[in-house]
Amino acid sequence: MGGLKKVIEYDYDDFTFDSFEEDGFFEDEYDYEDGYDYDATLFESEYNYNLSAKFDDLDIPPGVEAPLPWLQKTAAEMSNKTKPIMIVDDKVDEKYNAFKQFDTVDCHSDHYYSKPELRRVQVVKKPSKDWAKRIQHEWKVLEKDLPDTIFVRAYEDRMDLLRAVIMGPAGTPYHDGLFFFDIYFPPQYPNTPPLVSYRSGGLRLNPNLYACGKVCLSLLNTWSGSGCEKWNPSNSTMLQVLVSIQALVLNAKPYFNEPGYANSANTPSGEKRSLTYNEDTFLLSCRTMLYSLRNPPKHFENFVAGHFRKYGHNVLVACKAYLDGAQVGCLVGNGVQDVDEGDKSCSLKFKTSLKRLFEELLMEFTVKGADCDKFLSEKAKSAAAATRATTDTTLRL
């Protein structure tokens, strides 16, 4: 389903307008000064059983099971295993590499605005020809000018909908992550900006991205701004919105995105709080990775699997670096640190939470076929050493 051929001819008489009260801003209070409140039990989730089942079918190094509760099996369970050995889909890379940056698809059932009347927004049923032509123009711009790290899907039978995924930029606490947005063009477009909902999975990992999905951005008229910062019907584009989210929202120091905190930038106290915020943000970004792996949006299943198969190793390398004390966000690719060697930062709370997340990421990435051999081997050696130590202690008693 490629290209724009199926959208050029459109029967404008098939539409009528239904008006609904415009939705107001979401209320989502949050005290950034105190950081995020983590519940450790969230990591002991129902996914443990599913991970265990997945690893029944994978050939992993002996000893890896020992330290992981979800891989511990009884002898009876192991002897009764009748499942065939799982072969990781050898077409994952092929499908991922063939994934177009812009394309048209059909089913929109899981889109946030699939039924806009439920979101209390105006429904597009009889748009003007100018509306349709403008959106067709937006499609062409997206198809031509999208940067390499943003991918978009339009819907053949719903010109009012788009879905985009933005890759987290290197050098930020969002690196290697995937961030999905559902977009709706209201009937007044482009006189009013598009509506954008962030697929958060219930997590708020940025002052501008609310857990409820609200995106705070001047360009969307959901935040204050002036001049070119605000939506301009003549000049502003959907491409501009997506690039702005990637560059201005998913940045290296999101703590200072919050008004009131911007004035503390480049001060010792402000930078310290920013580092702590980045640690919390990376933890939430890791949880977002797990959410996307387990709940990939429709039409992006192959992209999510291929992305983390390709970048999973880099994520694990980063986790190890951060556990060793490197500042979150200092990695610019392949484990290279863009920070002074003596400039270390890693809180105990962060380490404790990241260790748990590392185990879950390692398991999910391994299932997806990412290069995890080094980390699995290290875990096997560590488990073997722990077993020997326990045995020696027992013998001495």
N-to-C CA span, the chain: 70
Residue 38 near residue 59 (C-beta atoms within 8 A): no
> Residue 259: which pLDDT band, with cuts at 50, 70 and 90?
confident
Q: How far is CA 88 from the centre of its chain?
A: 23
pLDDT above 50 for 75 = no
Among 212, 216, 330, 346, the one annotated catalytic: 216
Measured CA to CA, the distance from residue 366 to residue 89 in angstroms comes to 12
Structure-model confidence comparison of residues 379 and 182, the more confident one: 182
pLDDT digits (tens, 9 = 90+) for 170-185: 999 999 999 999 999 9
Question: Is 150 in a helix, a strand, or coil?
Answer: strand
* DSSP letters for 86-109: P---TTHHHHHHT--SEEEES--T
Measured CA to CA, the distance from residue 113 to residue 169 in angstroms comes to 27
Per-residue pLDDT, averaged over 354-363, amounts to 96
- List, in order of start, the domains of the chain with CATH numbers: 84-395 (3.10.110.10)
pLDDT above 90 for 368 = yes
Whether 216 is a known active-site residue: answer yes
Residue 397, pLDDT score:
66
| Whole-number percent of the chain with pLDDT over 70 | 72
pLDDT digits (tens, 9 = 90+) for 141-199: 999 999 999 999 999 999 999 999 999 999 999 999 999 999 999 999 999 999 999 99
Per-residue pLDDT, averaged over 225-231, amounts to 84
Residue 330, pLDDT score:
79
Q: Which residues contact 118 (CB under 8 A, 6 or more apart)?
A: none
pLDDT above 80 for 336 = no
Residue 372, pLDDT score:
95
120: left (phi over 0), alpha (psi -120 to 50) or beta: left
Residue 121 near residue 338 (C-beta atoms within 8 A): no
Of 61, 118, 6, 117, nearest to 378 by C-alpha is: 61
Residue 83, pLDDT score:
39
CA distances from 131 to 12, 56, 187 (A): 10, 53, 7
pLDDT above 70 for 363 = yes
Per-residue pLDDT, averaged over 102-117, amounts to 96
pLDDT digits (tens, 9 = 90+) for 26-63: 334 334 334 434 343 443 444 455 555 555 555 555 54
> Residue 201: which pLDDT band, with cuts at 50, 70 and 90?
very high
Residue 196 near residue 132 (C-beta atoms within 8 A): no
Per-residue pLDDT, averaged over 342-356, amounts to 82
* The two structure tokens encoding residue 247: 């560059």
Prediction pTM value: 0.79
Residue 283, pLDDT score:
97
Which residues is 105 bridged to in the sheet? 155
Residue 91, pLDDT score:
85
Residue 112, pLDDT score:
97
Nearest-5° angle of CA 120, CA 124, CA 126? 145
pLDDT above 80 for 302 = yes
Residue 78, pLDDT score:
33
> In the 8-state DSSP scheme, what is residue 253?
-
Nearest-5° angle of CA 333, CA 339, CA 343? 135
Tokens 């699995």 sit on residue: 376
Per-residue pLDDT, averaged over 301-324, amounts to 95
Residue 390, pLDDT score:
72
